[in-house]
Amino acid sequence: MLAGLRQILFNPLIAAVALASTIALAVALGVLSNGWNAERARYEARIAELTHASEKAEASFRMELASCQAAGAARQTPEQRVAAADAPPGARRLLEQGPEGIDACARMESADQAVLSNLKK
């Protein structure tokens, strides 16, 4: 049995086929490796681009938040600031947010009343 195996392994034809197969596999590995490296470079460039866009958007959002906070602070009257300091937390939150929502509801109610009064006439 060993003699048969030795004869197959040392056969010149099988050695040539094995060598050709090895070379073909090495070339295929090189080509695939090159493609993988190129794809990796594209992914890294895309990640860097998305990271930069994310940082830019974050900076924009932070500036917008700061300007909104500054506008809200500037809108408060001195009386509101004093009242907000003495008020309980729930009332303080309502004072800091301002009466925009309450005004909108009041305007809508008065508009509804005006429409209803016109319909009654």
d(CA 16, CA 21): 9
Give residue-wise pLDDT tens across range 79-90. Answer: 555 555 566 666
Q: Which two tokens stand for residue 45?
A: 């460039």
pLDDT band at 51 (very low <50, low <70, confident <90, very high): very high
pLDDT tens for residues 38-47?
999 999 999 9
- Count of CB atoms within 10 A of residue 94's CB? 14
**Where do the domains of the chain lie?**
2-120
| Cβ atoms of residues 84 and 96 within 8 Å | yes
Answer for the pair 83, 95: CB distance below 8 angstroms, yes or no.
yes
H/E stretch holding 81: helix 78-86
